[in-house]
Chain A
Amino acid sequence: GQNIDQPTEMTATEGAIVQINCTYQTSGFNGLFWYQQHAGEAPTFLSYNVLDGLEEKGRFSSFLSRSKGYSYLLLKELQMKDSASYLCAVLDSNYQLIWGAGTKLIIKP
């Protein structure tokens, strides 16, 4: 079957750095998405990786290793507004999005 694994919950301190991991086993791979979802709000697009390596976008970076079936989202200089759920999703060989259950990130002052 197809599976996306990510931690259920993480806690970090304001100003610090946090890494949210995502591992996947899917039938084929056509890219990996990260979305941010604040409580009661729409998921919003953060990043898309299809090639190995690190993509940086301001305070957020996303890394992909296709051979390991692994990605992470790196958040630097954490702010209170970064408290949200972070969803990992993989496009399989049929271009179907397979979603993880999300990681709830709690930022403490």
Chain B
Amino acid sequence: ETGVTQTPRHLVMGMTNKKSLKCEQHLGHNAMYWYKQSAKKPLELMFVYNFKEQTENNSVPSRFSPECPNSSHLFLHLHTLQPEDSALYLCASSQDSSGGAETQYFGPGTRLLVL
């Protein structure tokens, strides 16, 4: 199943760099999500977009900046990150996020290392 793709798969960046993560879904969904996954910790929801509008921002630091130009694409812009931001960043999509038990479909993630 390659319904949700993410690039790059791996990223190493310094604390002063600026980089962007890209997510694309080919499932015709209207909701997209960014999650952070750290070892042995629950998935942390970062942002939710529904029909291109941001509906959730889980107190994420401003060094993470999302962008959703359309229902199929989601970006996460990164700048001046900290070493503790090193993690797997997962993108997911669902039919919508306005309520109801929608199954989320995940991309393979971007493994980020901040030096």
Whether a CB of chain B sits under 8 angstroms from the CB of A27 is no
**Total count of chain A residues near the partner, CB < 8 A:** 25
- State the Cβ distance, B111 to closest chain A Cβ, in Å: 8
Which residue of B has the minimal Cβ distance to A42?
B106
Asked if B69 is an interface residue, CB under 8 A from chain A, the answer is no
Q: Report how many residues on chain B are interfacial, defined by Cβ distance under 8 Å.
A: 20
Q: Please, which residues of chain B bring their CB within 8 A of the CB of A60?
A: none
Q: Is A87 an interface residue (CB 8 A)?
A: yes
State A89–B104 Cα separation when bound (angstroms): 11
Flag whether B101 is at the interface (Cβ < 8 A): yes
Residue pair B103, A48 in contact (C-beta under 8 Å): yes
Give the residues in chain B near A30, CB-CB below 8 Å: 101
* Total A-B contacts with CB atoms under 8 angstroms apart: 45
Of A11-19, A61-69, A76-84, A97-105, the one with at least 4 CB within 8 A of chain B = A97-105
The SS class assigned to the B binding surface is: loop
Question: CB-nearest residue of chain B relative to A100?
Answer: B42
Contact A42:B90 (CB < 8 A) given known A95-B99, A101-B40: yes
User: Which residues of chain B come closer than 8 Å to A44, judged between CB atoms?
Assistant: 1, 106
Which residues of chain B from 57 to 115 have a CB within 8 Å of any chain A CB? Answer: 90, 97, 99-101, 103-109, 111
Highest count of chain B CB atoms <10 Å: which of A4, A87, A101: A101
Interchain residue pairs with CB less than 8 A apart (17): A8-B40, A33-B103, A42-B107, A42-B109, A43-B90, A43-B106, A44-B106, A45-B103, A45-B104, A45-B105, A48-B103, A91-B101, A95-B101, A96-B45, A97-B45, A100-B42, A102-B42
Other than A42-B106, A48-B101, give 14 A-B pairs with Cβ distance below 8 A: A4-B42, A30-B101, A31-B101, A33-B103, A40-B111, A42-B4, A43-B106, A44-B1, A44-B106, A48-B103, A95-B101, A100-B42, A101-B40, A101-B42
User: Which residues from chain B sit less than 8 Å from chain A, CB to CB?
Assistant: 1, 4, 40-43, 45, 90, 97, 99-101, 103-109, 111
